[in-house]
Amino acid sequence: MNFNSNINEVSDPSDWDNCKLPSLSNLDSLLRCQICKDFLNAPVLTNCGHVFCSICIRRTISNSNKCPLCLEETYESSLRKVLILDNIVKWFNNNRNDLLKNLSIDLVNDSQNDSSSDISVISELNGNGNVNVNGNEGKKEKEEVQDNLVECPICGVFMTPDEIQGKHIDQCLKNPNGSTNRNTKRTTSRSFFKNSSSSDESTTPKNTKKRQINIQLQPNSIKKKQRIPNLDTSISTNKLKEKLNYYKLPINGKRNELEQRMKEFINLYNANLDSINPVSDISLISKLKKWESLINNNIHSQNNNNIHSDTNSNNSSANSSPPITFDEETIRRHQNEHKSWNKKNKNHYEDLIKIARMNMQKQKNKQLINNEDNNNNNKHHIDDDELSDIDTELIT
Amino acid sequence: MPPKFSTAHKRLLRELKEITKNPIDGIIASPLNDNDLFHWRCIITGPNDTPYEFGIFEAILNFPSDYPLSPPTMKFLTPIFHPNIYKDGKVCISILHSPGNDPLNYESADERWGPLQSIEKILLSVSSMIADPNPNSPANIDAAVLWRNNKDKYNETVKKLVIDSLSL
């Protein structure tokens, strides 16, 4: 697994830095959870007014009951979901790439060239061969909207106030499906905010009349589920196992592993209830498994490290399993490499230092000479001044 | 292999991206190798106008699997004489302490580790700690005593070690 290949896959507010509207990075960072730095997933509101991903704040609170931002006491029971924000984040996340493409500076420069190259550039960016000519017009539309255009209350098209008050409003009232040239031209640009797949349909004026408001304010759950209450850590191991069994979770492992598993499942389960699109219990269980394997992996690798450093100190290098992670042995190897490199190149370094010292001295000598010259010059100047003084005296 | 994108993994990847885009003056930080985001190597240069000036200090940051809920640990590989750094290189600083384990309440809760802290903040704090030691919770008692009682000798010791560590 090489992270260099996926470093550009993670989105970041700085992605907007080189686009036409760099201030969008503010919006981008506002829609992110401060804990995981990712886009808010099932956002919840705390008592103190801060918003985090449901799962992030639940995990944090199960460590200590404090809001990480203001350190005010925060309890699980006081968390409330914010559905509208969930919608906003989802919209932004879904349209982020399109927005970035349409606002990128390269594209703007290209759009000043002839239109044929435009199309090729855009289709290249789309990557799937879908020629999206509309993206370009969408930009023009945006620019014009900034010039104080008004939206027609009937067909929703942007135009100057004079145009609306003049002919357009009458035409629109007579024929709400309005098929003036102006309309068709404008409506294509609306697809800027829609997926490229729907852009072809939206070129017909009929679709533009209905504004697609895709806001879902009811979660997708069929049955109303109750939240699982917090785990009482004083219950007996048997009861804990019963509880795990009830939610169809594995019951192997030590007591603290069972507790951790139950706690994480409660967090996942309750966070899932805050989501606008909750997933099934089965996928929650698979999430839990992933989480657990990750934790175990890390513990094992740490143990490996310890074993390695132990064997290293005992000078018994019979261990065959190669360490995956960085351990003390490699650190030492690095240091030894440093030392041998230093020894190898000692002469070279010394030569360099000598040269540097020589240069320093040369510079100093030069400075001294310069200073002397300056002094001499100054003396000359003074002489000249004195002479001129004498001259002026003589003249007077 | 852990799953490709755990919370910790994603978060570290983002921090790496940010730190490469907006590097901090005098500090370099990056993962040790391409396959492992949980172990970072960083290089901090000695702050100006301190005896540590011109020093180049290499350190290792180890991240737990539940990062950012738990703090990473930091260890200097370069020998460094400082009241808040143990002789084996481990760093003792409030930002790396989770808010649970401080019975004596030396440090206020807002300087402690929280999920909103970041690698950048840790490295900046360590850099300013090098410049301004905190004598209240010494990790290297010899250094702390010398720092309090004999600044000149302290400065001399530090400088000597800096020159030694540069192997000049």
**pLDDT at residue number B104:** 58
**pLDDT at residue number B119:** 92
B contact residues 51-90, partner A, Cβ 8 Å cutoff: 60, 64-66, 68-69, 77
Beta bridge partners of A51: A45
A32-65 core/surface letters (b: 16 or more CB in 10 A; e: else): bbbbbbbbbbbbbbbeeebbbbbbbbbbbbbbbe
- 3-state secondary structure (DSSP) of residue A210: coil
- Under-70 pLDDT residues of chain A: 1-6, 8, 106-161, 164, 166, 169, 172, 174-224, 297-331, 373-396
**Lookup: tokens for A11:** 């989105």
**pLDDT at residue number A201:** 43
Task: Name the region of B133 (left: φ>0; alpha: ψ -120 to 50; beta: rest).
Answer: beta
What residues have CB less than 8 Å from A275, skipping those under 6 apart?
A41, A42, A54, A86, A219
CB atoms within 10 A of CB A296: 14
Secondary structure (DSSP) of A18-71: TBS-TTHHHHHHHTB-TTT-SBPSSEEE-TTS-EEEHHHHHHHHHH-SB-TTT-
CB atoms within 10 A of CB B133: 20
Rounded CA separation B123/B27 (Å):
8
CB-count exposure of residue A289 (10 Å: 0-12, 13-18, 19+)? middle
Are the beta carbons of B39 and A38 separated by less than 8 Å?
Answer: no
Rounded CA separation A359/A361 (Å):
5
Are the beta carbons of A3 and B13 separated by less than 8 Å?
Answer: yes
User: From the CA of A126, how many Å to the nearest CA of chain B?
Assistant: 25
**A32 — phi, psi (to 5°)?**
-105, 155
Are the beta carbons of A14 and B31 separated by less than 8 Å?
Answer: no
CB atoms within 10 A of CB A288: 20
Computed from CA positions of residues A184, A188, A190, A194, in that sequence, does the dihedral angle turn out positive or negative?
positive
Are the beta carbons of A34 and B1 separated by less than 8 Å?
Answer: no
B contact test, residue of A15, A16, A29, A63 with most B CBs within 10 A: A63
**B45 — phi, psi (to 5°)?**
-90, 145
pLDDT at B146 over 70: yes
For residues A86 and A275, is the Cβ–Cβ distance under 8 A? yes
User: From the CA of A386, how many Å to the nearest CA of chain B?
Assistant: 47
Domain positions in chain A: 11-103, 107-217, 237-313, 346-396
For residues B107 and B93, is the Cβ–Cβ distance under 8 A? no
Stretch B132-148: mean pLDDT, rounded?
Answer: 88
Q: What is the pLDDT of residues A342-380, one digit of tens each?
A: 788 888 888 888 998 898 888 888 888 877 766 666 555
Residue type at A66 in one-letter notation: K
Whether B101 and chain A come into contact, CB under 8 Å, resolves to no
Are the beta carbons of B13 and A6 separated by less than 8 Å?
Answer: yes
Confidence of residue B59 (pLDDT cuts 50, 70, 90): very high
Stretch B45-56: mean pLDDT, rounded?
Answer: 90
| CATH numeric code, A11-103 | 3.30.40.10
Whether A21 and chain B come into contact, CB under 8 Å, resolves to no
Report, in angstroms and rounded to the nearest whole number, the Rg of chain A calculated over CA atoms: 35
| CATH numeric code, B7-165 | 3.10.110.10
CB pairs under 8 A between A and B: 103
**pLDDT at residue number B75:** 93
Whether B104 and chain A come into contact, CB under 8 Å, resolves to no
**Lookup: tokens for B141:** 């008692």
Rounded CA separation A104/A99 (Å):
8
Whether A63 and chain B come into contact, CB under 8 Å, resolves to yes
Computed from CA positions of residues A144, A179, A153, A98, in that sequence, does the dihedral angle turn out positive or negative?
negative
- Per annotation, catalytic residue among B92, B95, B119, B139: B92
pLDDT at B68 over 80: yes
Whether B149 and chain A come into contact, CB under 8 Å, resolves to no
Chain B hits for A65, Cβ within 8 Å:
none
For residues B139 and B84, is the Cβ–Cβ distance under 8 A? yes
Residue type at A206 in one-letter notation: K
> Which chain B residue has its CA at the smallest distance from A292's CA?
B2
- Residue A352: its H or E element: helix A346-395
CB atoms within 10 A of CB B27: 17
Whether A51 and chain B come into contact, CB under 8 Å, resolves to no
- Residue B12: its H or E element: helix B7-21
Domain positions in chain B: 7-165
Beta bridge partners of B56: B45
**pLDDT at residue number A256:** 84
Residue with more model confidence, A369 or B104: A369
**Lookup: tokens for A114:** 């002839």
**pLDDT at residue number A123:** 44
Are the beta carbons of B65 and A298 separated by less than 8 Å?
Answer: yes
Stretch B63-77: mean pLDDT, rounded?
Answer: 90
Are the beta carbons of B3 and A353 separated by less than 8 Å?
Answer: no
**DSSP letter (8 states) at residue B85:** B
- From residue A197, alpha-carbon distances to A2, A36, A192, A210, B129 in Å are 33, 32, 11, 18, 56
B42 flagged as catalytic: no
pLDDT at B139 over 70: yes
Chain B hits for A4, Cβ within 8 Å:
34
